[in-house]
Amino acid sequence: MVVEVKDLSIYYFTLNGVVRAVEKVSFNIEKGEWLTFVGESGSGKSTVAYGIINLVPSPGRITGGQVLFEGKDLTKLSPEELKEIRGKEISMVFQDPMTSLDPLRKVGDQIAEVMIEHGVDEKEALKRAKELLRSVNVPEDRIDYYPHQLSGGQRQRIIISMAMAFHPKLLIADEPTTALDVIVQDSIMDLLDALKEKGTSIFFITHDISLAVERSDRMGIMYAGKLVEIGKVDQIIENPHHPYTQALFASTPDLWVDKKISSIPGFPPDLRNPPPGCRFYPRCSVFQSKDELKKVCDVVEPQMVEVENSHFVACHLYR
């Protein structure tokens, strides 16, 4: 196991109230596996990603739980210790590559800098930077370009090349292809696959279920700050258990080719004041149709239970 996330909670302490963005989320990432989290916008996916590397932006803060990376709790490390791990053992790719690139410096220098920071000498680092560019199919002469002279796809490749500099144990990719067209998107996914082939675990985040299904080994579904279901991709796709997962799939045209598409009624809750018990109950058709669930779902928080080997669901239907 590379990462073990235990009961992770992350809140944003805003002037308008406390946003309970991630609440008691637990999961593992195994060595060399590709785990994808899906969920609607605002469900807490990015916050989980920031939480893993202990980089939650202000006014956010980890309020509980642990992130064990090879046995070390990353929530307890000093900024210096974290810096040593980030970029080398854990790399990150975000939706907008410009957030990770300095617009005023040549990309070659920026790739080399990642290595220099971790002790590689300058000449060697620049040589490696060229090799890395080639390995992500960016022409070597781009080493002297500034970020704005490159396309969005090339910029994202450059971020991935930085991640590849050290064969990280974990790569966190938060919607890395959302801003790119489909063909470029595919080539970026291929690069991530190549990293996985070399033993890197991938934690991938997307709101696009068809993208999640394509390459992942396992997938998790987030709703309103909670992880509601997690398992192998086949298990989840063929046999979704959580009413939210079922509703989400039923509202996804690509997955449900011959079935009727139906949108989920209502809206996700305001995370400053989430519903008690199961956060999905106000929208759950199962809850509304079964009397025995009344006074349970809207009061008691459902815990994760294993419904089949390595397939977990948090819903009172499966107690």
| Residues engaged in binding ligand ADP (CB under 6 A) | 12, 14, 19, 21, 39, 41-47, 57, 59-60, 271
Smallest gap from residue 263 Cβ to ligand SF4 (A) = 17
Paired residues of 12 in beta bridges? 19, 60
Nearest CB to ligand ADP, comparing residues 60 and 277: 60
* Phi, then psi, of 222 in degrees rounded to 5: -105, 140
Q: Is 170 in the site for ligand SF4 (CB under 6 A)?
A: no
DSSP string across 251-301: T-TTT-TTS---PPSS-PPPTTSPPSSSTTGGG-HHHHH-GGGTTTTTTSP
* From candidates 297, 307, 311, 312, binder to ligand SF4 by CB under 6 A: 297
Q: Which two tokens stand for residue 110?
A: 């920026």
CB atoms within 10 A of CB 13: 12
Stretch of 103-111, 153-161, 230-238, 276-284 contacting ligand SF4, by CB under 6 A? 276-284
Smallest gap from residue 138 Cβ to ligand SF4 (A) = 45
Nearest CB to ligand ADP, comparing residues 242 and 316: 242
Element (H, E) at 116: helix 107-117
Q: Is 93 in the site for ligand SF4 (CB under 6 A)?
A: no
The position carrying tokens 């790569």 is 171
Smallest gap from residue 233 Cβ to ligand ADP (A) = 19
Q: Is 243 in the site for ligand SF4 (CB under 6 A)?
A: yes
For residue 176, give the nearest of 167, 168, 184 by alpha carbon. 184
**Partner from ligand SF4, Mg ion, ligand ADP, none binding residue 293, C-beta < 5-8 Å depending on class:** ligand SF4
Nearest CB to ligand SF4, comparing residues 32 and 282: 282
* From candidates 48, 49, 286, 307, binder to ligand SF4 by CB under 6 A: 286
Smallest gap from residue 48 Cβ to ligand ADP (A) = 7
Q: Is 307 in the site for ligand SF4 (CB under 6 A)?
A: no
**Partner from Mg ion, ligand SF4, ligand ADP, none binding residue 39, C-beta < 5-8 Å depending on class:** ligand ADP
**Partner from ligand SF4, Mg ion, ligand ADP, none binding residue 12, C-beta < 5-8 Å depending on class:** ligand ADP
CA distances from 111 to 20, 66, 102, 159, 263 (A): 36, 31, 11, 8, 44
The position carrying tokens 């800098």 is 113
Residue 138 and residue 107 in contact, taking contact as beta carbons nearer than 8 Å: no
Give the interface with Mg ion as residue ranges (CB under 5 A). 46
Q: Is 27 in the site for ligand SF4 (CB under 6 A)?
A: no
In whole angstroms, give the CA distance from residue 108 to residue 12: 36
Paired residues of 32 in beta bridges? none
Smallest gap from residue 106 Cβ to Mg ion (A) = 29
Burial state string for 100-118 with b = 16 or more CB within 10 A and e = fewer than 16: bbeeeebbbbbbbbbbeee
Identify residue 106 by its one-letter amino acid code: K
Q: Is 317 in the site for ligand SF4 (CB under 6 A)?
A: yes
CA distances from 188 to 10, 18, 136, 176 (A): 30, 36, 9, 8
Nearest CB to ligand SF4, comparing residues 87 and 277: 277
The position carrying tokens 């700050």 is 225
User: Which residues contact ligand SF4 (rule: CB under 6 A)?
Assistant: 242-244, 278, 280-281, 284, 286-287, 293, 297, 302, 315-317
